[in-house]
Structure 1
Amino acid sequence: MFRHHLPLPSLLCASLLLAVVPAVQAEEPGRSAEQSAEKRYFSLPAAPLGLSLARFAEHAGIRLAFDARLVDKLQAQPLEGNFSPMSGLQLLLAGTGLTYEAVDGGYLIKAQKGLSQDSVRLPSTAVTGPQMAEENRFAHPFRLTSEQIEHRPQANSNLTDLLRSHPVVQFSNSSQNGLSQGEIKPDSISIHGSRPYQGLFSLDGMRMNNDLDPVDAGNGVTMASGTSSEQGFYLDSRLIDSLEVHDSNISARYSGFTGGVVEATSRSWRGGQAGQLYYRHTDADWNKTFTDDSLDFDSSNNSMSHPSRFQPSYQKSDYGFWGETQLAENLGVVVSASRRDSKIPMRDLGGPGFDIDGDTLVGFNHPASNRLQRRQSDNLSSKFSWYATPETTVHWTVLYSGYEEQMFQNTVANSGYQNSHDGLASILKLEHMTSLGQMELNASYRHLTDIRDSDTDYRVSLIDSSDWRNPVTYNYGGPGSLNSYQDTVELSGQFAFDRIFAAGLGHRFTLGAGVNQVDAEFEREETYYAANFDAYGEYINLRQIDAFFAGSASTRYTSYHLFAEDEMDWGRLTVRPGLRMDRDDFIGSNNLAPRLSVSLDAFGNGATVLKAGANRYYGSSMLTYALYGAQNGGLKHCYFDCFPLIDNGDGTWDATPDYEGLDNLKTPYSDELMLGLDQRWGNSLWAVQYVNRKHRDEVRSRPKYPDSRASNERSVKEFVNDSKTDSDNVYLSVSMLEPWRALHAEHRFSAALAWQRTRSDTALELGYSDIDMTMKLDPSQVWYEGKVINAKDLPASDFNAPWKLNVDWQADWQAYGITLFNRVTWESSRDQVYKHDTGVDGYYPLPDSDLRVRKYSSARIGSLWRWDTNVQWKPAFAHGLGFNAQVNNVLNNKNQSDTMSWNGGTYKIYQPGRQVWLGMTYDF
């Protein structure tokens, strides 16, 4: 065995001698070549290539020799699945410039013919790339390495930007809004018809979702609640090592989602010293914007509730670095930092305003001016990797993600405020290989905050009705300050046993368990007052005072999980049954999720593999279910004998409750049926897959007393599990197994054609916040295109492109240091469902009933296609300096993405036109 006290360099040099490689003792005397070539299950984490080769040899029971200088600074990707020694070595060495040669009693690692040691480079494709390799029998996952990420065109360097080529990932219609190109927040996505906040985002095994209040209800800026999004950490995609998406036949190791899993891995020390500096920039003057011909696209038209809807001017920059170095024997660190910055000039029209001095209303003039809104997203991280022994690795990641947006409300004096969305995390992971299998232990802590910091803690509003036909409203002050916090501690572990034989079957058991504790709090530090005045000529009357009184509310819950699965193989058939139990004491339920995946290697050669599955996935509970009552819980009104901005006088404050807690809430779940086929054909891999999802017990809001006319009951709502969504998805994809070499370049092609249909009785983008307080409303039915239908059959109003085609082509001219990536996207035309305004025309009375239903119609949105490209040039003579140019929508196509209602009209929204990013990199 390896001597654990040997330093890593000595260990790798010693492996030149076949006799000291651990596999010598592992191999039994007289073992035949046929026996040594049998497949075994491997689960190797990402690590320096030399260490991965040593681990592979030990577990495979083979002799392996290599020169440590050949593998220095090279990194091996994770390797998981059933492999023969040769197939495993091929994947570990893919793209490194190294090969192997069979020698007496083992294998020798050497440089490929014609390649010197200096020409060896990091792999350009993942070891577990989109190939039908043995390591993934049950699904067709989407994987990207750091080098692939660097080559792809990205809008704002967010994780979701990398998923544009995924066939089943649907983006919100608002995700590419040409009217607001200055924004840098991650786009919302839906997988198989799920709510966007019911997808699981993870980093190094830690869940990084934001469960505080991730839904934007579409109401704009309100005094009751702030803004947020689904992801708790806005990761810079250039600083991660790999990204993987699981969308079907998902292992029992994962839970807390009804859509899919987006799993990121941070960079680990590669066994040497290296790094990169980068900078890129874009400007509105370089780019094109399409608008509706009848729309006045000017920032002066931004409103109080939507203060950044129109952004004709912006400047965006993206810069940062990552670096790795050795700290001690077998110990290294990767540090990284980045900033994404956007400056958005705006016009504030100013105008008359009113403030309060004591109890006196004072008028003044708020001058017009040019002002700047700003968005800023920062990432800071460090990851320590300690390869303690060939069997034991420890990773410790510390991460900070901070996002800020500086805002103001047009025409409103002293209305400035700042939204911040910050995350701090610590992740500790231990991986240990034993004689029985591989153990993994994880411990993590994360602290998430959503804070709105307002310049003022009050608002003054005056409605001047001197001209009663055209009343004018004047406002002063900001929306008020709010704080939300989420603290999570998580401990988990799993053990993957080595493959054993029993009852004529091969078995590989995996067991796991974990505990998770969450503390959350909503806080309003200072009472917020809103004084409302009416003016009629010289007469001014204080109509009412609204106040959100200072206070806080908190909640704590603990969840537990256990899971077990057994990958059983019998000849060409592999079956993986699994069962996961999650205990959620937040709503007091035990959720049992059975999983079953089946794979059949039709001819025993891996060329044709049939796949099927039936699975249940339980989602997560939103903390807002418990904290919502606090948002409006402090809201009170004073109508008579009140002082404007203080809580005294003879007036009476009337409470306005709108929520009465949790009643028998359940955890949403999704039932999945999946069929698939993978087919190798020459140098290509074809995959076809069908997935049916039934999302049930989805949470939405409804009036608790729908027919009550009592003022203390009329506005009360509750959360209920009476929403459902059905989704069908089919896709066909093709990818190359090995690059095609032509014109002095390596070419890689992939394409995917997908069809989907999603029907839901609740707007996916609104989820639990979707509510209609109208009396005598039947929510189980709707009026759509002239007839009454079941609400569950209503087509989705977002995340709803029926047909989608993606074609990716990457070309590498290594001799010249040039890489070119092209992506062509096409989406079919669609009927965009929209809800009628809530006036007289917004409802349809049901015949022979006193009930009515909501009215919906659809507008036709034409098909769209776009070509995005990214070219990088890293010439050898520049000694690490590189240049890149990214052009999105190269041909400047006018693609409609959505519609918008504004100022009594309906307008078309288009995707951005041609958008250019220019940048530089320096590798060291």
Structure 2
Amino acid sequence: MRFAYSPLSFAILTLLSTSVHANDISEQKNSKQMSESIALNPIVLQAEKTIEIGTTTYTKEDLQKTPNSSKNITDFLKVNPNVQFDREQRSSRTQGELRPAEVSINGAQYYQNKFLVNGVNNSNVMDPGGALGKDSYQGFDSGSQGMAINADLLCKLEVLDSNVSAEYGEFSGGVISAETCAPTSEVGKIHGSITYDYTESDWARYNIFTPEDIKDFDEPTQSNQKEFKKQGLSANLYGRMSENLGINLYGSKRQSIIPVMSGISSPEKIDQERNNTNAGATFYYQPNAQNNIKFGFDYGDIDALTYIESRRNSGATTNTESTALFAEIETRLNTATVTQKLNYQRMDSQRVAENHLGIFWQYAPGSKDWTEQPSSATANAAEGTTSGSLNQFQDSLSYSLKSVFDSFNFGNTQHTWTLGAGYDHYNAKWERPTDLYNYNAAGRTNLSSGQSCQPDDFLCDSATTLNGKSGQYFFKGVLYKAGSAQAQQDRWHAYVQDQILWKNLDLRLGLRSDYDSLSSQYNIAPRSALTYRPLHNESLKLVTGFNRYYSAQTLATELRQQIANLKYDIERETKNPATLTWKETQNSGYRNDSTNLKTPYSDETLLGLITQFNNWEMGLKWVNRHSKDEITRDRYVSEQSFNGKTFLGTDYFTYGNNGRSQSDIYTFTLKNLSPFKLLSSSHQFALGFDYTDVQKNFIDYHENYQVNTPNEEDRLVQYGDKIIHWSDRPAENFNQPWTARISWDIGFEQLPLKINNFFSYKSAYDDALKVKDIDYQGEMINAYEILKVKPRFSWDMRTSYDFNLAKDNTVTLGLTINNVTNRKNTYTGSYLNSNTLKSEIGRQFIADVTFKF
């Protein structure tokens, strides 16, 4: 590995050269004083020592010290034992990307979490699973988060994974709430920080050891990012203008440049680009002792410039822009505290393609020959778009009211009532601005003897192809017409909750009701949690709970048929290059039954305990979830005949509620409450260990689910050497059986140095690939080959060193090392993709420098 020069390299070398006497006693004293000053910095919150099962709160310090190479929320969540990641999270093929990884909480689908930023719903309610994007001509490969906020800009991150109160709805996984920073400094003082980070492919090891990997990484391609440069700049500014007014301003920009081979003769290499921008402001105003007002805006924009390998004129720029306006008023009345929130958010996704025509030619020397000289006589030369231009809009307006009443006694019990209600309006629009044409190999044939191209026929080429044919032309294709689709949804909710204290019992009883205008359903969700303290103190808590969570219905199911109706098969009036007139036939394949869809829900049962002994806190938890009415993309089939053979053909697709799953998650946590002292160092430990077992009878809402002839979930398959029902196979992703996570943080009394370690162990797992059909008792069934993947271990480390430059000014140098031991970890794709072993990234360095003032 070699280190490449960068602005950060020079910054680090300059600072080191001017600080060679940093170990001087006086410097240590100044550094210690400065550290104490920084601890009172207005953006650093005091650690919240909560031991409530199901809720984990991370402070600014937690976010800063944990190795986080992607600077996003979900990458940080690797420390939480109830969170599972996509198996390709650490793939060596995608380290140049900026989009956040997807996560599953307690076995739920990755698109069923609720993301909040400053209290505003940051979830993609239109198409979080990217169902439309599976056909790139129809949609975007979208993610579950609307705005990818930079973790450097946050002061608090809260994860609600179980026993979630009635206040939260529209999820069946978990709630992830992020907050930017509130100023609490002295009046008239302005504080801030600026952070720059840098990494690149030359700062990483690629442990390529399989023949497939060696071939893929011979040159950088779009799907195998062998080369990249990634850097980011973020800034925070905060202070109190007066006793009653405070402000926080923030902004960040991250960029990744990914050179890839084009696959064509000129240019041979092109630069793909990724950008992620955040900006925002929050104002805090306290006009009197009874009222607190908070308002502001958050902005995010993530874009990508991409090209398709071996396809000329295929460039496209895609960006997702999110703007949120929020206002919150907290009012203290005689017997209650009332909080009102009014939020507006707009998410716009746009793809601008170079052209609106895609053609898949057969290679022809002297004419269709812009790709590299092929070795096969049947090689192709493609040009134009594979997706076309699209626009997608999502508007939401929400209002909520919450009243927390003062506690009162009733007999021997104490009660605290909370009442709440709210309204949300969503408007989604999809738009294709221009007709899009696609001509692929299925609609292409060669010129016959006596045939020739018409002068104005751009779909005909008379040049001899590489395999000696005398020209080629297209006789059919696909037309995606310009048009739009729109859907609206109104949601109302109300909830009531009573927190009851009686001796050593703490009981929370809640009930939530949600109404959805699309399904016209009223959904009632009970929420309950019971805590028992057998020793009448905090040293031992036994916790249980039963809760129901209704997830949010995605609007893609409502739009799908409208979009599909814009697809047409086109063909020449006769299969002859002399014919220049074409006819159109609508090719939808969808029926819209989405208005009859039920809202998916999950029933949760929880058992757990937390105990404190000496300086340790230990937790045990079991979460069982049964999810029902999950949305599936149903494929209706019938028997068809061709050449004397009978097979199943697709009649149409629609959406249904045929999905269900069951999850069991066992977790064990252990941490020391106060740091251990060893010589002149302090040590903080945290262990998280979990076992996960998830079974699903479906994959997600955009994969085919066959509902007749035969029934999908009851059909038999061969899984390894066993015959089982298709629905009894393990979930194919977000289902790592055993994981262990250890954090070890080290601080020093005499040095402003911090070392933070994160160890992760993931057990072996089985992956499967459909390889063939076999005869079982006279019936043909699918057979899946099982591949066992070895355990994976990684040690990530972050070190930081503070330099005192002047009064109230410090510089912190940071270095993150992922996979310190350069462990050769492997993974596989999901079902139906590939059972080829692929490699995770090896040792990787990320450097950063922060200036605080």
TM-score by length of 2: 0.86
Instruction: Give the corresponding residue for 1:720.
Output: 656
SS at match of 1:196: coil
Matches within 5 A, 1:166-245: 166-216=80-130, 222-245=136-159
On the 8 A contact 2:439/2:478 being kept in 1, the answer is yes
Residue of structure 2 in register with 1:412 after alignment = 311
Is 1:867 the counterpart of 2:795? The answer is yes
Matches within 5 A, 1:150-549: 150-216=64-130, 222-271=136-185, 272-295=189-212, 297=214, 308-350=222-264, 367-463=266-362, 471-478=378-385, 479-532=387-440, 533-535=444-446, 537-549=469-481
Distance 1:492 1:643, change over 3 A: farther
**Are 1:654 and 2:585 an aligned pair?**
yes
Q: Within 5 Å, give how 1:608-687 maps onto structure 2.
A: 608-641=540-573, 650-663=581-594, 664-687=596-619
Q: CA deviation at 1:705?
A: 4.5
Residue type at the aligned position of 1:618: Y
- Quote how far apart the aligned CAs of 1:325 are: 2.7
CA spacing shift, 1:385–1:643, aligned 2, 3 Å: farther
Aligned-residue offset at 1:865:
1.0
Contact 2:515–2:521 (8 Å) recurs in 1: yes
- RCO (CA 8 Å, sep 6+): is it higher in 1 or 2? 2
Shift of 1:418: 1.2
Distance 1:243 1:807 in 2: 19
How far did 1:161 drift? 1.2
Indicate if the aligned counterparts of 1:176 and 1:897 stay in contact, CA closer than 8 A: no
Write the deviation string for residues 169-209 of structure 1: whole angstroms up to 9, x where unpaired.
00010111112211111011101111100011111222110
Offset of 1:906 from its aligned partner?
4.8
Pick from 753, 759, 769 the counterpart of residue 824 of structure 1.
Answer: 759
> Distance in 2 between the 1:396 and 1:604 partners?
42
Q: CA deviation at 1:310?
A: 0.7
Report Cα offsets for 1:142-168 as digits up to 9, x if no partner. 211112211111021010011111111
Amino acid of the structure 1 residue aligned with 2:199: T
CA gap of 1:429–1:905, structure 2 versus 1, over 3 A, is closer
Aligned to 2:457: none
| Identical pairs, percent | 23
The answer as to 2:819 corresponding to 1:889 is yes
Cα 1:384–1:124 shift into 2, 3 Å: closer
Structure 1, unaligned stretches of length 5 or more? 1-113, 351-365
Q: Give the partner amino acid of 1:729.
A: I
Q: Is the 8 A contact 2:329 2:339 kept in 1?
A: yes
Counterparts of 2:390 and 2:616, CA distance in 1: 54
Query: Cα distance 1:406–1:465, how it changes in 2: closer, same or farther (>3 A)?
Result: closer
For 1:229, what is the secondary structure of its paired residue?
coil
Corresponding position of 2:677: 741
Structure 2 residue aligned with 1:584: 516
1:395·1:428 contact (CA, 8 Å) conserved in 2? yes
Q: Is the 8 A contact 2:753 2:799 kept in 1?
A: yes
Which residue in the other structure is 1:793 paired with? 728
Say whether the 8 Å CA contact 1:901–1:907 is kept in structure 2.
Answer: no
Alignment of 1:121 with 2:40, yes or no, is: yes
C-alpha spacing 1:270/1:344, structure 2 compared with 1 (3 Å): same
Change (3 A) 1:632 1:140: closer
Moved more, 291-300 or 569-578: 291-300
Counterpart in the other structure of 1:911: 840
2:132, 2:139 within 8 Å by CA — same for their partners in 1? no
Q: What displacement does 1:853 show? A: 4.7
**Inter-CA distance 322–196: structure 2 relative to 1 (3 Å threshold):** same
* Deviations, residues 125-152 of structure 1 (Å, cap 9, x unaligned): 96563543xxx4xx24221111221111
Amino acid at match of 2:122: M
Task: Report the AA paired with residue 678 of structure 1.
Answer: I
Tell me how far apart the structure 2 counterparts of residues 198 and 289 of structure 1 sit (CA, whole Å).
34
Query: For the residues of structure 2 that align with 1:880 and 1:115, how far apart are their CA atoms?
Result: 8
Question: Shift in Å at residue 223 of structure 1?
Answer: 2.0
Check the 8 A contact 1:760/1:791 in 2, yes or no: no
The answer to whether the 8 A contact 1:514-1:560 is kept is yes
Deviation at 1:390, TM superposition (A): 3.0
Q: Is the 8 A contact 1:212 1:484 kept in 2?
A: no
1:120: Cα distance to partner? Answer: 5.9
Alpha-carbon offset, residue 782 of structure 1? 4.1
Q: Go from structure 1 to structure 2 and tell me whether the alpha carbon gap of 1:505 and 1:128 turns closer, same or farther (over 3 Å shift).
A: farther
Tell me the amino acid that sits aligned with residue 48 of structure 2.
G
Distance 1:626 1:700 in 2: 13
- The TM-score normalised by the length of structure 1 is 0.79
Asked whether the equivalents of residues 95 and 225 of structure 2 are also in contact (C-alpha less than 8 Å), the reply is: yes
Q: Unaligned regions of 5+ residues in structure 2, if any?
A: 1-32, 366-373, 448-468
Shift in alpha-carbon separation, 1:713–1:631, aligned structure 2, 3 A: farther
CA distance in 1, matches of 2:344, 2:146: 13
Preserved CA contact (<8 Å) 1:292 1:907: no
Q: C-alpha separation between the residues in 2 aligned to 1:116 and 1:696?
A: 52
Contact 2:104 2:110 in 1 (8 A): yes
- Quickly say closer, same or farther: Cα 1:330–1:709, change in 2 above 3 A: farther
Match of 1:703 among 623, 626, 635: 635
Matching residue of 2:22:
none
- Residue 429 of structure 1 and its aligned partner are, at CA, apart by 1.1
Q: Which whole-Å CA distance do the structure 2 matches of 1:810 and 1:483 have between them?
A: 46
Contact 2:634 2:707 in 1 (8 A): no
Shift in alpha-carbon separation, 1:592–1:795, aligned structure 2, 3 A? same
**Conserved 8 A contact 1:292-1:908:** no
CA contact (8 A) 2:685 2:742 kept: yes
Contact 1:900 1:907 in 2 (8 A): no
Are the aligned partners of 2:637 and 2:708 in contact in 1 as well (CA < 8 Å)?
Answer: no
- 1:887 is matched by which residue type in structure 2? I
SS in structure 1 at match of 2:155: strand
One-letter amino acid matched to 1:858? I
Distance 1:732 1:795 in 2: 23
Q: Secondary structure at the match of 2:76?
A: helix
Judge conservation of contact 2:219–2:226 (CA < 8 Å) in 1.
no
Shift of 1:292: 4.0
Q: CA deviation at 1:683?
A: 1.1
Which of these residues, 603, 618, 626, is aligned with residue 535 of structure 2? 603
Instruction: Determine the C-alpha separation between the residues in 2 that align with 1:900 and 1:218.
Output: 20
2:93 is paired with a residue of what secondary structure? Answer: helix
| CA separation of 1:590 and 1:465: change in aligned 2, threshold 3 A | farther
1:262-309 Cα offsets, whole Å, 9 max, x none, are 111121222342110010101111111123420255678899xxx721
**CA separation of 1:520/1:901 partners in 2, compared to 1, >3 Å: closer, same or farther?**
closer
Cα distance in structure 2, aligned partners of 1:124 and 1:334:
9
Following the alignment from structure 2 to structure 1, what is the Cα–Cα distance between the partners of residues 622 and 42? 32
Partner amino acid, structure 1, of 2:296: T
Whether the aligned pair in 2 keeps the contact of 1:616 and 1:671 (CA below 8 Å) is yes
Aligned to 2:625: 693
Shift of 1:644: 13
State the match for 2:25 in structure 1. none
